[in-house]
Structure 1
Amino acid sequence: MFHEQEEPVPKLSKRDILLTSFISGALAGVICDVTLFPLDTLKTRLQSQHGFFQSGGFRYLYKGIGPVVLGSAPSAAIFFITYEGIKQYSQPNIPNQYHSIIHMIAASSSEITACLIRVPVEVIKQRKQALLSDSHRLRLRTLYRGYGSTVLRDLPFGVIQMPLWEHFKFYWTQQIQRDCTPMEGATCGAASVAISAAITTPLDVAKTRIMLSSTSAEKEEVKISIMLKDVYRDHGFKGLFAGFFPRVTGFTMGGFIFFGVYEQAREFCLSYLS
């Protein structure tokens, strides 16, 4: 099990720490998603059941950026305020050797909560990225059709990513005998994200296909198990890892930017409030 780096008792109140996490997460989410949006578009088109070039190829790489700008901040902010909230209120009452379990529970809870905003944003974004023209406004049921598949993708992602991030930071802190700088924290974040992205690629393929399915598709047609079977039948094992390179590359770069901005903004906010 991973053990978390023991931090000194903060001088700030839990409320200030949560506010700091909220602001830092929002800022990190927007900067990361906007910067790496073209890579995300390529990944979506490589995974699309309509085909890469039919979905736009290398054209209009910023198609769908609008929903992302609006949705990134609240989604990332909710994730981190949930994650840090569970940590702040749980860890003081739990022995150190069980802190990795707290990280997993916090990551799982954060993903489920953040997906309430993330999923409809993803549906609109990916349909625009794949150049699908919806003649009518998407129904609420359609907007949340990928909720289950997104949670099934993001739960293992978060459960792998966050404890790894905490562990890498703890390990590096032990080696250098001081706290991690924002740059070092960003490097730890990039490593944890790369591993998580690689492992969960097949779930991301299924999620993308569900979100790009026809709005008239029946519920039975857009199950994650059905999508994975269809992909494997049509394209074999390789199809399950469609978009692997842009996904892992984008997520690794994104992890570095996201955690770097998060750590830097958090450090600034904490110093300002203290």
Structure 2
Amino acid sequence: MDRREFTASLLAGGCAGMCVDLALFPLDTIKTRLQSQQGFQKAGGFRGIYAGVPSAAAGSFPSAAAFFVTYETSKTLFGDFMAAPMAPVSHMMAASLGEVVACLVRVPTEVVKQRTQASPSTNTYRVLLSTLREEGLRGLYRGYGSTVLREIPFSLVQFPLWEYLKSLWSWREGRPVHSWQAALCGAFAGAVAAFVTTPLDVAKTRIMLAKAGSSVARGSLPSVLYGVWRSRGVSGCSVYTRRRSEARSEWPE
């Protein structure tokens, strides 16, 4: 990737992620409260649906930019060493690496954002100070492992499917796809990936929102999922609204 492509990936990816995250923030708040252990109404219901938006605004651009720069760079590098039939594998590897890097920025802002969303009576600054005071910097990265384990399967499904749909559409029309066509492919791929990874997102939210020192806060994805299944059944693992799938579907061709 040359300098011009790098800059394009940085700016376009960051802007796409930030615009979609902010536009769909109320849906993300509702999703977080539905997934919280205390329940939707106790977590705030429909009140203060923009609680936590400063954290989202601060982290959205750099995390999305980090993902797309890593994804595009890795995809090019892996593609140079792999034959054309192995393209889906290179896309999977690039997307997974992109998620690992992006989560370094995404997780701290996600922790603060979700805790503010689930406690609308407070604000982002107070939640940040409280987290640092009670758990230190490590508290901001609680749920990093579960987030990565949620994001990687999502990307393993979404990006190869997205690239395949774009190439299929391009082949049928005999030309490169337009941006709106790439967006439709991304939206469909993101919906499929979101359906598959919903339970993992529920567990990630529970871990981030759990009280410091509790069994859930210390728990792993399997143990938390098992607890959700025991208390709320299959429906408890299926409460979900996805944002980043739409952000990635906006990636220009």
Report 1:27-106 matches (<5 A). 27-106=15-94
Select the residue among 240, 249, 252 that pairs with 1:259.
249
Report the Cα distance in structure 2 between the residues aligned to 1:201 and 1:92, rounded to whole angstroms.
34
Q: 1:156 — aligned with what?
A: 153
Unpaired runs of 5+ residues, structure 1, are 1-12, 268-274
Q: Percent identity at matched positions?
A: 44
Q: Is the 8 A contact 2:208 2:217 kept in 1?
A: no
Kindly state the Cα deviation for residue 109 of structure 1 after the two structures are TM-superposed.
0.4
Q: How many pairs were matched up?
A: 244
Q: Is the 8 A contact 1:31 1:258 kept in 2?
A: no
Secondary structure of the corresponding residue to residue 178 of structure 1? coil
Report the Cα distance in structure 2 between the residues aligned to 1:162 and 1:258, rounded to whole angstroms.
9
Q: Is the 8 A contact 1:149 1:224 kept in 2?
A: yes
Q: 1:107 — aligned with what?
A: 95
Report the Cα distance in structure 1 between the residues aligned to 2:198 and 2:247, rounded to whole angstroms.
20
Could you report, residue by residue, the CA deviation over 1:235-259 in whole angstroms, capped at 9, with x for unpaired residues? 1111111x23xx1xx44xx644543
Unpaired runs of 5+ residues, structure 2, are none
Report the Cα distance in structure 1 between the residues aligned to 2:97 and 2:28, rounded to whole angstroms.
25
Report the Cα distance in structure 1 between the residues aligned to 2:247 and 2:63, rounded to whole angstroms.
16
Q: 2:232 — aligned with what?
A: 235
Select the residue among 182, 190, 196 that pairs with 2:179.
182
Report the Cα distance in structure 2 between the residues aligned to 1:89 and 1:234, rounded to whole angstroms.
46
The normalised TM-score by structure 2 is: 0.91
Change in CA separation of 1:257 and 1:85 when aligned onto 2, cut-off 3 Å = closer
Q: Is the 8 A contact 1:187 1:256 kept in 2?
A: no
Q: Is the 8 A contact 2:30 2:46 kept in 1?
A: yes
Could you report, residue by residue, the CA deviation over 1:27-79 in whole angstroms, capped at 9, with x for unpaired residues? 10110100000000000000000110000001111100001111011100010
Q: Is the 8 A contact 1:55 1:130 kept in 2?
A: yes
Structure number with greater CO (CA < 8 Å, separation at least 6) is: 1
User: Are 2:124 and 1:125 equivalent residues in the alignment?
Assistant: no
Could you report, residue by residue, the CA deviation over 1:130-182 in whole angstroms, capped at 9, with x for unpaired residues? 01755724321111111010001001001111111100101111111111111
What is the CA RMSD across the aligned residues, in angstroms?
1.7
